[in-house]
Amino acid sequence: MKAVSLRLAICGAFLVFSGLTLANPPETVHRLSQKHDLGALARAHQSAGGAGQVQPSLDFETYRIRIEPIFLKPRPGGVRCYDCHSMLATRLRLEPLSAGSSSWTEEQSRRNFEAVSQLVTPTEPLKSHLLLHPLAQEAGGDPLHTGGKFWASQDDPEWKMLADWVSHGDQTPPAAQARSRPAATDALDFQLFKTSVEPVFLKERSGHARCYGCHILSNRVFHLETLSPGSSNWTDEQSQRNFQGALQLVVPGDPASSRLLIHPLAPEAGGDPFHSGGRQFASPNDPDWLALAEWVRGVRTGIASESAPGAMTLIYVTNSAGDTVDVIDPATNKIVQVIRGIELPHGVAFSSDGSRVYISNESESMLDVVDRRSGEILRKVCLSGRPNNIAITKDGDRVLVGIRREPGVVDVIDTTSLKRSKSIPVDGSVHNVFVTPDGKYAVSGSIENKAATIIDLQSEQAVWEIKFDSAVRPMAFEANPDGSTSRIFVQLTGLNGFAVVDFAKRAEVARIKLPEQPSGFGIAEGRTGTPSHGIGVAPDGKSLWVNSTLANAVFKYSLPELKLAGYSALPVVQTLGHSPTGAVPEWITFTPNSKIIYVSNSGAGSVSAIDTKSLKAVAVIAVGEVPKRINTLALH
């Protein structure tokens, strides 16, 4: 108690010396709070701007449900925002809680809301003191906050929640809002809402009342139409009204910022602290939550978007512990398609014309052939054993499938007949298989036999191999100016770095260890045996990128000199009751212009999109269960 009191005293002294006193005289603040006029501050701030202007507004209900709990959250050391801001004369003055209460009354919340509004510029988070003061300076925040810096970056979930609330202040007149709203929600499909989302509201969930039972009440923020007597479904007209109501509670393209999804989600899974209807969804992996999320993302399951005629790039990621493959449009970094029905998908490759997607299916020992546009499985090709990764020959005539069983083969699938034409013997069960840049060779890697086998694709026979002192993991290839293979960069079990193989010499010529810092990850995740997994050469051939689980980062090396150029940190996973853990990066792919690298984060259930020049993350995309293999489809 003494330590907290001393900290509060120090905070108070510093605030006086730094001039962070009340923005308005006490009588002004008192007058505003007595009136309980939620728009008073905005009118006071903008009175000089002309009486005819429509003022920005902030949503009180969203504030109370999602923003206010942040002020009561214990920070490192056990101190809350509330502890200082309810006692000291700061710009943000929070109401003292009633004795024995752990939350504010509505009247108190409205007074807090007025105080918070003084520190916010509606629609402009980066001009809002509330968001900048506790944000790290290097992330764009103020130089100092005596309560500490709570958010290391603008990607922090709390910061994003506040930013979303502030961003939705709207200066548009109500009539214009009504006219413009359809343009903002064009991405959200009514028919998908009716067929996939509305049934969730009527579903009887074990231990829960139906959403419908409460949300037909008129006092609910989200109101559902009452079913006609004897009817078990809404009419189209009723569904349209339900649809319009739901649109008020979603941010198109962003499920994590959509109240419709976050409010009924369990707090420990990232949901709001309290939902009067209970914890309808225990996790974001609940099938019903996923149905809502796909609708909000604008995803139509099985239908791939065609955003630009003639040229298209898509990023495919297989969710290794699930039954889905997510498809990302790098133009928006949003999921635009979900391929379903492939349990334990592993590798992914594409036909030359982009019409087919080939996916190795571990659960059935099949190569699934998928129609790219519809996402439907066209054919299942029987393999000689359980598959791991796959590759396709440069001419597109053959899919090569690594078979993960001894003594070790690579299955060859003819893409015309869609039948297995041959199984090529190699040294050890195959975890990964690649095709060299010139298309002349395939290279398989074996964990058990610690070997890489080089296959001549003309004769379809192994022609040489190289042994290592530990298991072979992912590989990447550097090309000579004539397109032939110059070097292979090989990741090995136990090595936080990679081996360098001279292809012409058929020998290992160097080992590169990644920097020792940053560090601190991998132990809790149980991944110290595989400290570095995921490696790739950018399409322009100018850089090599290497994942590190121990650093929770991806490192960049310039080519051909292999000089370290920097690194980009990957997301940290915050788990209730546990120390933060790493993202556990797995695989790497690039956009064809080499400007963006995509890293699958198996421990975080996401894909990081990183600018290759600035080394800054431009997006973190939530995907399915344990995402691993990732590949780029580029059509011209």
Dump pLDDT digits (tens) for 19-78. 333 333 333 333 333 333 333 333 333 343 343 444 457 888 788 777 888 888 777 666
The pLDDT score that the predictor gives to residue 7 is 42
The average pLDDT across 135-151 equals: 81
Banded pLDDT at 251 (limits 50, 70, 90): confident
Among 10-14, 397-401, 572-576, which is the least confidently predicted range? 10-14
Banded pLDDT at 289 (limits 50, 70, 90): confident
The pLDDT score that the predictor gives to residue 185 is 47
The pLDDT score that the predictor gives to residue 412 is 98
Higher-confidence residue of 103 and 361: namely 361
Distance set, CA 212 to CA 185, 248, 251, 341, 357 (Å): 24, 17, 22, 30, 40
The pLDDT score that the predictor gives to residue 302 is 54
Banded pLDDT at 303 (limits 50, 70, 90): low
Nearby residues of 585 by Cβ (< 8 Å), 6 or more positions away: 533, 534, 547, 548, 549, 552, 554, 570, 599, 600, 601, 602, 608
- Percentage of the chain modeled with pLDDT above 70: 85
Among 221-225, 317-321, 456-460, 544-548, which is the least confidently predicted range? 221-225
Please, what is the end-to-end C-alpha distance for the chain in angstroms? 67
Nearby residues of 575 by Cβ (< 8 Å), 6 or more positions away: 581
Which helix H or strand E contains 29, and what residues bound it?
helix 26-35
Nearby residues of 68 by Cβ (< 8 Å), 6 or more positions away: 104, 109, 112
Burial class of residue 346, CB neighbours in 10 A (0-12, 13-18, 19+):
buried
The pLDDT score that the predictor gives to residue 304 is 56
Span 84-103, pLDDT tens digits: 888 776 778 898 888 767 77
Beta-bridge partners for 472: 492
The pLDDT score that the predictor gives to residue 263 is 85
The pLDDT score that the predictor gives to residue 20 is 39
Whether pLDDT at 12 is above 50:
no
The average pLDDT across 549-575 equals: 93
Banded pLDDT at 181 (limits 50, 70, 90): very low
The pLDDT score that the predictor gives to residue 271 is 79
- Percentage of the chain modeled with pLDDT above 90: 46
The pLDDT score that the predictor gives to residue 204 is 85
The pLDDT score that the predictor gives to residue 31 is 31
Banded pLDDT at 576 (limits 50, 70, 90): low
Which three-class secondary structure state does DSSP give residue 140?
Answer: coil
The pLDDT score that the predictor gives to residue 265 is 87
d(CA 383, CA 5): 69
Whether pLDDT at 187 is above 90:
no
The pLDDT score that the predictor gives to residue 336 is 86
Max Cα–Cα distance, the chain, nearest Å: 89
What single letter denotes the amino acid at residue 600? S
The pLDDT score that the predictor gives to residue 53 is 43
d(CA 45, CA 31): 15
The pLDDT score that the predictor gives to residue 518 is 92
Beta-bridge partners for 462: 455
Q: From the centroid of its chain, how far is CA 240?
A: 31
Whether pLDDT at 583 is above 60:
yes
Q: What is the mean pLDDT of the chain?
A: 83
Banded pLDDT at 300 (limits 50, 70, 90): low
The pLDDT score that the predictor gives to residue 580 is 84
Higher-confidence residue of 423 and 168: namely 423
The average pLDDT across 125-154 equals: 84
Whether pLDDT at 156 is above 90:
no
What single letter denotes the amino acid at residue 45? H
Q: What is the pTM of this model?
A: 0.61
The pLDDT score that the predictor gives to residue 526 is 87
The pLDDT score that the predictor gives to residue 291 is 85
Banded pLDDT at 610 (limits 50, 70, 90): very high
Contact 453, 444 (CB under 8 A): yes
Higher-confidence residue of 239 and 69: namely 239
Banded pLDDT at 82 (limits 50, 70, 90): confident
The pLDDT score that the predictor gives to residue 307 is 46
Nearby residues of 169 by Cβ (< 8 Å), 6 or more positions away: 56, 57, 58, 120, 122, 123
Contact 167, 123 (CB under 8 A): yes
Half-sphere exposure of residue 32, counting CA atoms within 13 Å on the CB side?
23
Whether pLDDT at 326 is above 70:
yes
d(CA 613, CA 340): 35
Whether pLDDT at 270 is above 80:
no
Whether pLDDT at 457 is above 70:
yes
The pLDDT score that the predictor gives to residue 430 is 96
The average pLDDT across 315-319 equals: 96
Nearby residues of 542 by Cβ (< 8 Å), 6 or more positions away: 558, 559, 594
| Max mean pLDDT range (209-213, 249-253, 284-288, 401-405) | 401-405
Whether pLDDT at 195 is above 70:
yes
Banded pLDDT at 171 (limits 50, 70, 90): very low
